[in-house]
Amino acid sequence: MTVTAILSALPQEQGSLVQALQNPERIEHAGRSFWRGQLHGQLLVLALSGIGKVAAASTSASLIERFGVQRLVFTGVAGGLGAGVQVGDVVLAREFLQHDMDASPLFARWQVPGHAVRMACDESLTAMLSIAASHGLALGNAGFDHEKTPPRLHQGLIASGDRFVSTAAASQQLRQELLAAGHDALAVEMEGAAVAQVCHEHGLPFAAIRTISDRADDSAHVDFTHFVRHVAGPRADAIVHAFLRLLPK
């Protein structure tokens, strides 16, 4: 049976999936804990990458080479960049780009040599995550409803890089530079594009879904930990459980 990896950067982003695993087995490898087990009739490996692209790439390579996973799903939080992408909304990745990659003029700005500038996610896994997302959105925002509107689902481009974007100036500059080249990034985070690249190199399907924890501005750090624990974690739980029920056996 196909083995599925569920990957997050931080423990709080994983919700209580480890506790839900049947026949859980913890394996230490490459300085990380990997949890093998079953859930909803699926063989799973749960892993935490830690923060950043190298950590995410290393964890993805371990999942594939050491644990034999054949599909990878990332769940976690991101900063909102796109117009109307609010705290508490959910962004489903259709494509990823590395916003801190620049080998120009040898290669196009943001292009990882040997890859397209924008790396696509797997369509069928992404379609299943999109259905599963509604179960997470139904939970609401647990008191974080700043906008007083129900959380919404957005789908499109996510930009990844080794930087926590925490000023309005940095976030505007990032958004404008990308937009000027036709890249309308909805959200920014620090791992997804690296996982996408590793999956592309191995020919494996990858999908990612992120709850918006902040607007990547001067208050990006405020309430971050509380939000991840109380909103993003339960969201990830609801989405991943629904997703696993949709996966073919």
Active site members: 13, 214
Nearer to ligand ADE, 77 or 97 (CB): 77
Write down the least CB distance from residue 189 to ligand ADE, Å: 4
Q: How many other CB atoms sit within 10 Å of the CB of residue 73? A: 29
Write down the least CB distance from residue 158 to ligand ADE, Å: 10
Stretch that binds ligand ADE, among 64-72, 92-100, 141-149, 211-219 (CB under 6 A): 211-219
Name the one residue in this structure whose structure tokens are 């990034």: 185
Q: What string marks each residue from 173 to 202 as x (binds ligand ADE by CB under 6 A) or -?
A: ---------------xxx------------
Upper half-sphere CA count for residue 18 (Cβ side, 13 Å) = 18
Beta bridge partners, 38, equal 22, 43
Stretch that binds ligand ADE, among 13-21, 71-79, 122-130, 132-140 (CB under 6 A): 71-79
Q: Exactly one of 214, 227, 231, 239 binds ligand ADE (CB under 6 A); which one?
A: 214
At residue 165, the 3 state secondary structure works out as coil
Alpha carbons 39 and 62: distance in angstroms, whole number = 21
Phi and psi at 162, nearest 5°, equal -85, 60
Nearer to ligand ADE, 56 or 63 (CB): 56
Upper half-sphere CA count for residue 51 (Cβ side, 13 Å) = 8
Of all residues in this chain, which one has the CB nearest to ligand ADE in the complex?
79
Q: How many other CB atoms sit within 10 Å of the CB of residue 194? A: 27
The yes or no reply on residue 220 touching ligand ADE (CB under 6 A) is yes
At residue 55, the 3 state secondary structure works out as helix
Q: What string marks each residue from 23 to 52 as x (binds ligand ADE by CB under 6 A) or -?
A: ------------------------------
The yes or no reply on residue 144 touching ligand ADE (CB under 6 A) is no
